[in-house]
Structure 1
Amino acid sequence: MVTEKCANALGLKRQHSRVTVSGISSSSVGQARGEVQVKLHSTVNKASIDIHALVFPKVTGILPKYNCDRQPWTHLEGLQLADPSYFEPGPVDVLLGADYTAQS
């Protein structure tokens, strides 16, 4: 999934889609506003993935919901993260499934 704001900012060519997504207890999340193809590139190495994404007004709420104390997370020290501000609430533009693998 990708937000409409992100798809528009990247100038992605949109194809028509009539997919409806349901969430917990089959409650409707919404109908896709199209489909796009996009290649995502890592900010830390040469890895990339090609994705076929559904476009929605938003993919989730602001995450994390509250500021997190990053001090106890010593296991992350020294790691180069894609989002170095992971502990600060912010918008999410792309939501990937766990079945995607990067291509180097």
Structure 2
Amino acid sequence: MNSEAAPQSAGEARDVRVRLPYHLRHLARLDSETVVRVAGPVTQRSVLDALEERYPALGGTIRDHTTGRRRAYLRFFACEEDISHEPPDDELPGPVVSGAEPFMVVGAMAGG
């Protein structure tokens, strides 16, 4: 994943597009995707930190309050690739960092 990341300077802030599933958009009172400002490296962790800071109602809904781990039945995508199991501090791909592509939180399906 790092090979595709755009180089960033330490204090540089980026606007990152984020798409959420309906239930989380409803909780955050959003009609569509949102943009969050991320200072420093753009990683899963930094994007989710910025998202929870801007929309406090989302705190604990995407990541567990105690462990910080992704909640079951949620997946993370960047550039149409599932990055749910990538380390949370790896930089996201350049198109996400530049705002050309969104960071997506997607509700997973289960059942039989």
* TM-score class, shorter: under 0.3
Radius of gyration: which is bigger? 1
Q: Provide TM-score, normalisation by structure 2.
A: 0.20
Q: Provide TM-score, normalisation by structure 1.
A: 0.21
